[in-house]
Amino acid sequence: MDFRQQSVALDALDSLACDALLVIVAGDKAPGGLDSATQRALDDAVAHGEFEFKRGKTVYLHRPQGLKAARLVFAACGAATPKSVKAAFASGLGALKGGGSKHVAVALAGVTDVGGAHAEALVAAASDASYVYRHTKPSAPAAGALAKVTLLSDKAAAKAVTQGLARGNAIAAGVTLARELGNRPGNHCTPRYLGEQAKKLGREFGLKVEVMDRKAIEKLGMGSFLAVAQGSAEPPRFIVAQYHGAPKTQAPVVLVGKGITFDTGGISIKPSAEMDEMKFDMGGAASVLGTLRAVAELKPKLNLVVLVPTTENMPGGRAIKPGDVVTSLSGQTIEILNTDAEGRLILCDALTYAERFKPACVVDVATLTGACVIALGHHHSGLFSADDKLAGDLLAASAAALDPCWRMPLDEEYEEALKSNFADMGNVGGRAGGAITAAMFLRKFTAKYRWAHLDIAGTAWKSGTAKGATGRPVPLLTHFVLSQAA
């Protein structure tokens, strides 16, 4: 989709040639400064009870008198924040759905400081509205007609808006990649497929990408990762992808993504209900690869390393059993008390591997625990870090990206639950505080660098009639990485 900025004043909207003019109205009353034809149409819609200045309200007018635009939509956003503008734009696009509009021009009335954040929000909403999964569904509906969105602003805001559109475009492409990877079924999106997609990114953006097979992983000594992989006929892969936008002497940001392409739970098998959704258990891997794509397009002046341990978690004659003890890459031993707590077993070896890059910081991303869903629902991702500055940067990035997370505790008392009589640690504690004890387990492998953990079990996908990957937290991660360059 083509996103552009155009300098057009609100009092000249009637002269704008486009298929549809979408006017997003902020505040609780009619804004001033509109051209007479647009103002007349708005006043008439309000007078006849067809439109209210309440968030979520829209009205569609066909062939409005006095305007060159063939269609006119008013959408109320309430507050003038990027979040509210994004929701109003999505509602406005919904009013135009199926109408054949190829070019939509968007004006923000009552928004005094139109900027890059508003522009980025519009791109996100348009990308989300236009996404349709097709890979294994030939009967999916045809793509909509919308091909171009123009955001109208004054000349003073043109540069910021243009930058916001470019940033939004790159993030949207990363989100789409993450959604495509997540939505593919487990027999299509295998560890080998993820490795192929990483190599494809490398070719497209000139990245250094290495995809290690089982023998290479064994040579490294990743005993915890391999323990999970041994139950599956699908071979594991360990993906190492690097973007270099700064001198090699500059310490990189490292992102680690959990890549369980299908999770049965192993011997500790899951209930059959909704097990199909365990194809989404590689949401962390999908999000860090999507972030890598966005960063590679934006070309910030920093270094970024993306690590993805990827395998299936299957039951079978060779699968790990509850009570087995394995040795991680760090040399620490782990008693596997529950084979369905496998994500932390593959992540811990990747976190140890991250040490060799002497990172500025490491953030791991994983659909790790159902406990996090119980704690935070499906709106906030869970954030865990003992580093206040790093946690603050991630929280700020989540706010800027409209991709919220919430900081959770990491008090040392929670570590007691991981004690084992037969190994350095168990891989699970009790049921209480399960998301926290999972983070405490990962923390044991991060002593040599600044570290944070994002539990995205509640945000990486949706269930029900809207079932599908969300692409989160690509926006959060991209904003975070860009902030480290700044």
Catalytic residues: 270, 344
With CA atoms as reference, report the closest residue to 407 among 399, 416, 415.
399
Q: What is the dihedral sign for C-alpha 8, 13, 18, 21?
A: positive
In sequence order, what are the residues at sequence separation of 6 or more whose Cβ sits closer than 8 angstroms to the Cβ of residue 240? 209, 210, 211, 212, 305, 306, 307
Cβ(367)–Cβ(280) below 8 Å: yes
Other beta carbons less than 10 A from residue 230's beta carbon:
17
Q: How far, in Å, CA of 185 to CA of 444, rounded? A: 33
98/306 Cα distance (integer angstroms): 40
Which parts of 329-436 are beta strand (E)?
Answer: 333-335, 361-366, 381-384, 405-407, 425-426
Say if CB 59 and CB 30 are below 8 A apart: no
Question: In sequence order, which residues have a C-beta less than 8 Å from that of residue 249 and are 6 or more positions away?
Answer: none
Q: What's the rounded Cα separation, in Å, for the pair 409 and 126?
A: 36
443 Cα distance to chain centroid: 23
From the number of C-beta atoms within 10 Å of its C-beta (0-12, 13-18, 19+), residue 458 rates as buried
DSSP class of residue 156? G
Which of 410, 386, 381, 408 has the alpha carbon at shortest distance from 397? 381
Task: Compute the distance between CA of residue 246 and CA of residue 360 in angstroms, rounded to an integer.
Answer: 13
Is residue 66 within 8 Å of 40, Cβ to Cβ? Answer: yes
Taking Cα atoms as reference points, which of 347, 331, 371 lies closest to residue 427?
Answer: 347
- Residue 320 and residue 231 in contact, taking contact as beta carbons nearer than 8 Å: yes
Q: What is the dihedral of CA 460, 462, 468, 473, to 10 degrees?
A: -20
Instruction: Calculate the alpha carbon distances from 79 to 26, 104, 122, 313, 389 in Å.
Output: 6, 22, 15, 46, 30
Dig out the tokens for 205 from the structure. 């953006």
